[in-house]
């Protein structure tokens, strides 16, 4: 049986993996993607580690799939990143084809995560699925009838940038009141830090978890403290759950998918987040429109996009 190469290029780390055609993960390598190195330096790292993997493969490697942690024009198979210099318009799939001599498809990490969970994770057996990734940012992907829906401008699933509030918090996308500015890991950490600076005594546990430095509080620390029952951390998680519940209700009303799968680093908090989320969704639901859409956690955790990249590769090699 042939193998495929999967690459996941994120904002801070990259991963490359070898998978067999049944989706079994055979081998993974990781590395850092420091932005200061620039695009070409980063791609050299990715290429070098990926070549090592391919060289170690016990079966021929027939195709490649790439998950990219930023906007991707799927039709044109190129990156559309406006924030990181050197990436906008870059033909990432062509680069991978030229570098590895393999057919390649690229998609953004939210769509790749959706595809990964659909084929190999918590979305197996569904006809329609929505994947929401809660990480540094908030993204999403729509699977319908076994395929990713990209939409006219490759923007389908961009749930991080729906307006959920009039409060006018500025978002990186240039709009205000976006879900991402309330629910991302960045937003959660920021809220905890604000709390710690205003009332350090109430945020003692959070500060303790972060080397005693209120400025270093992370979303991960909030999740840990919430799991321990820390009142401030729980309040922040509950507030986040309220925003998320509203956004997921939009998804249910518009798509009514079989399942909504929550992935990304923040979702690793697990039931600390999932339980208040389920609770927050109950009173918002319409009694006369009962929906059975399930809301569950991702099964592939940080590897959802890498598995999705493998699926992209497998679809070309069969």
Q: Does 249 bind a copy of itself (CB under 8 A)?
A: yes
Taking the least distance from each CB to a copy of itself, the nearer of 212 and 287 is 287
Q: Which two tokens stand for residue 144?
A: 């319908």
Nearest to 294 by CA among 277, 306, 313, 307: 277
Task: Using alpha carbons only, give the angle 174, 179, 184 rounded to the nearest 5 degrees.
Answer: 95
Q: Does 153 bind a copy of itself (CB under 8 A)?
A: yes
Among 6, 102, 171, 266, binds a copy of itself (CB under 8 A): 171
Among 285, 296, 301, 315, binds a copy of itself (CB under 8 A): 285
CB of 166 to a copy of itself, least distance (A): 10
Q: Does 159 bind a copy of itself (CB under 8 A)?
A: yes
Applying the rule CB under 8 A, the residues between 48 and 67 that interact with a copy of itself are none
Among 43, 178, 183, 277, binds a copy of itself (CB under 8 A): 178
Instruction: Give the total of residues touching a copy of itself (CB under 8 A).
Output: 48
- Cβ neighbors of 177 (< 8 A, separation 6 or more) are 163, 164, 165, 166, 167, 168, 169, 171
**Do you know the residue count of the chain?**
318
Taking the least distance from each CB to a copy of itself, the nearer of 128 and 133 is 128
Q: Does 142 bind a copy of itself (CB under 8 A)?
A: yes
Judged by CB under 8 A, the stretch of 4-12, 151-159, 186-194, 206-214 that binds a copy of itself is: 151-159
- Cβ neighbors of 202 (< 8 A, separation 6 or more) are 195, 231, 232
Q: How far apart are the C-alpha atoms of 127 and 124, rounded to whole Å?
A: 9
Among 8, 109, 117, 158, binds a copy of itself (CB under 8 A): 158
Q: Does 256 bind a copy of itself (CB under 8 A)?
A: yes
CB of 72 to a copy of itself, least distance (A): 13
Taking the least distance from each CB to a copy of itself, the nearer of 235 and 258 is 258
Range 101-104, long-range pairs (CB < 8 A, 24+ positions)? 102/5, 102/61, 102/62, 102/63, 102/64, 102/313, 103/62, 103/63, 103/64, 103/316, 103/317, 104/63, 104/64, 104/65, 104/66, 104/313, 104/316
3-state helix, strand, coil in the chain (%, to 5): 45, 20, 35
Q: Does 250 bind a copy of itself (CB under 8 A)?
A: yes
Residues in touch with a copy of itself (CB under 8 A): 71, 82, 128, 140, 142, 144-145, 149-159, 161-163, 171-175, 178, 246, 249-258, 284-293
């Amino acid at each position: 049986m042939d193998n495929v190469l999967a690459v996941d290029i994120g904002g801070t780390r990259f991963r490359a993996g070898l998978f067999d055609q049944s989706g079994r993960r055979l081998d993974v390598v990781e590395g850092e993607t420091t932005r200061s190195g620039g695009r070409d330096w980063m791609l050299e790292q990715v290429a070098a580690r990926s070549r090592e993997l391919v060289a170690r493969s016990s079966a021929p490697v027939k195709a490649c799939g790439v998950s990219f942690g930023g906007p991707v024009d799927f039709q044109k198979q190129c990156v559309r990143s406006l924030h990181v210099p050197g990436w906008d318009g870059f033909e990432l799939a062509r680069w991978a084809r030229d570098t590895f001599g393999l057919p390649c498809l690229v998609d953004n990490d939210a769509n790749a995560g959706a595809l990964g969970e659909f084929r190999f994770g918590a979305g197996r057996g569904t006809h329609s699925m929505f994947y929401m990734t809660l990480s540094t940012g908030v993204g999403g992907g729509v699977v319908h009838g076994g395929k990713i829906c990209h939409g006219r401008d490759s923007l389908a699933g961009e749930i991080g940038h729906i307006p959920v509030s009039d409060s006018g918090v500025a978002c990186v996308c240039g709009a205000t009141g976006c879900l991402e500015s309330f629910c991302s890991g960045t937003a959660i950490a920021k809220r905890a830090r604000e709390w710690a600076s205003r009332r350090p005594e109430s945020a003692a546990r959070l500060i303790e978890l972060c080397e005693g430095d209120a400025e270093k509080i992370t979303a991960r620390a909030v999740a840990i403290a919430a799991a321990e029952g820390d009142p401030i951390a729980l309040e922040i998680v509950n507030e986040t759950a309220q925003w998320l519940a509203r956004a997921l209700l939009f998804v249910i009303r518009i798509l009514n998918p079989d399942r909504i799968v929550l992935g990304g680093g923040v979702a690793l908090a697990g039931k600390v987040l999932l339980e208040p989320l389920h609770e927050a969704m109950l009173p918002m639901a319409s009694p006369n429109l009962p929906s059975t859409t399930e809301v569950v956690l991702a099964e592939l955790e940080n590897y959802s996009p890498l598995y999705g990249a493998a699926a992209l590769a497998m679809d070309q090699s069969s």
